Structure 1
Amino acid sequence: MAELHRIHPVDVEAPVPSPSRAPYERIGKADEELPPSAAPHPVPVPRPKKQRSRCCKCLCWTLLSFVILIVLIGATVGILFLVFHPKIPKYSVDRLGIANFTIDDNMTVAATFNLTVTMRNPNKKIGIYYRGGSHLSASYNGTELCSGTFPVFYQGHRNTTVVNLLLSGDTQLGGGLLQELQEQQQTGTIPLVFRGKVPVRVKLGSLKLPRITFKVRCDIVVNSLSANNNISLRSSRCKFRLKL
């Protein structure tokens, strides 16, 4: 008896199933086949703010310290002002004596001045130590004629002191300046400028402050610069400045 064979119908139009792939292969292929518009964008990572916050804190502390320092200085100055009531010292040129004033053929002036200055300290609780290293000068029309130094001493509270200052020196004048000086000698109105830079230490009660400099300028007008003559002061005006 012949053997029978069964024939099953086959659907030739059905798609042939593709072999399965590993998950990583699908992911890689999917990423490669995605269009550029569909590709994922990187997420920006925020920068750390620690460094900026540290700089802000440092700046704030610096400003705060500066403000506190200014407040403390202002409070100290205010307390000292209320306690001591400081007043500016006063200076005046009372007399000018000419020991020597000669002009040689080279237009060199040799001058020796004796200057009498009155110093007034109007403060009740403040004393003044006049220290070494001072410089005094007498000039005519911007040209220094002679110079000297200020004595070293202590001026107490509410004290008035009269000092005699000796200034001497040699200076060569130009022709125009010498002619101008001779003309003013004849008219009897000769302007002179006396300047002083004096290092001092101010004493507040029992406290001595650091060294500072007193700067004094006196503008005077005299009738003559001849030696051994009576020199009269036509005008005298002094200004005081403090240099820290």
Structure 2
Amino acid sequence: MVGEAAPPPTTPLVPPGSSRSEKGIPLHHHPPVRAIPGATFPIPRKGSCFCKCICWTISLLVLLLIIIVASVGILYLVFKPKLPDYSVDTLSISDLRLNFDMSLYAKFDVRITANNPNKKIGIFYEKGGRLSVWYTNTRLCEGSLPQFYQGHQNKTMLNVSLTGQVQSGSTLMTALQQQQQTGRVPLDLKVHAPVSIKLGRLKLRKVSVLGECMLVVDSLASNNLVSIKASNCKFRMKL
């Protein structure tokens, strides 16, 4: 019929399980969250701070290493360091004989030239420097190097007296006499020199210069200036 009111809606305006707020806005009630047996949730790790500390430490060490390498490179470019070198000028034998106990006594006098080729580096020769003469694997004699300071581009001549005694030296003496008949006696002269480097006014820590000169001489006669027929020297630095 015309004019009759429409029937009320049968579908509820508010879903079941919901309620209205004071303003008429429906509020949804979520079911309570239930714990699931065996389920795990992420927990902040205590080791994360430790890992960060390790990363920062490694970064600082790398940075420090870069700074050190850069500083060494700059010093190298500024001072251009070179190893000192040595040459054997003369070798004389004051004494070489067998004692009554069959030990071999040797006394050599050596004059060497120490050369500092550096333009901006001075060298302090410290206490404990040694110079020795060897035949094959046997040390015949040994002496001390003097303490002194060597300036820039300086050559200094050093006279060193070497003495030594070898037990059971009869076999060694026989070998030396047989070698002497050929006119070519091989000797090995070794240098161990503890030095400190001076850069400008800065004196650095002590290092060691190690040298070895392979000599060939004509004779080992006592009270005789030996003729050096060949000499080959090599040097290196030990930190």
* Cα 1:107/1:190, change in 2 over 3 Å: farther
Q: Match for 1:200 among 189, 195, 199?
A: 195
> What is aligned with 2:50?
55
CA distance in 1, matches of 2:44, 2:49: 11
TM-score normalised to structure 2 length:
0.79
Contact 2:104–2:173 under 8 Å retained in 1: no
Secondary structure of 2:187's counterpart equals strand
1:43 aligns with 2:39: yes
> What is aligned with 1:153?
148
Contact 2:143–2:162 under 8 Å retained in 1: yes
> What is aligned with 1:66?
61
More helix by percentage: 1
CA distance in 1, matches of 2:133, 2:49: 59
Shift of 1:124: 1.0
> What is aligned with 2:92?
97
Secondary structure of 2:60's counterpart equals helix
Contact 2:189–2:212 under 8 Å retained in 1: yes
1:144 aligns with 2:139: yes
Larger CA Rg, structure 1 vs 2: 1
Q: What are structure 2's unaligned runs of at least 5 residues?
A: 1-35
> What is aligned with 1:222?
217
CA distance in 2, matches of 1:227, 1:176: 19
Count residues with an aligned counterpart.
204
Contact 2:98–2:170 under 8 Å retained in 1: no
| AA of the residue aligned to 1:117 | I
CA distance in 1, matches of 2:238, 2:72: 17
| AA of the residue aligned to 1:49 | R
Map 1:4-23 onto structure 2 (within 5 A).
Answer: none
For residues 151-203 of structure 1, the C-alpha deviation after alignment (integer angstroms, 9 at most, x for no partner) is: 00010011111111111011124665443222101111111111121111111
Shift of 1:227: 0.5
Aligned alpha-carbon RMSD (Å): 1.7
TM-score normalised to structure 1 length:
0.78
Shift of 1:134: 1.8
CA distance in 1, matches of 2:172, 2:97: 15
CA distance in 2, matches of 1:69, 1:225: 56
Shift of 1:126: 0.6
**Paired-residue identity, %:** 48
| AA of the residue aligned to 1:190 | V
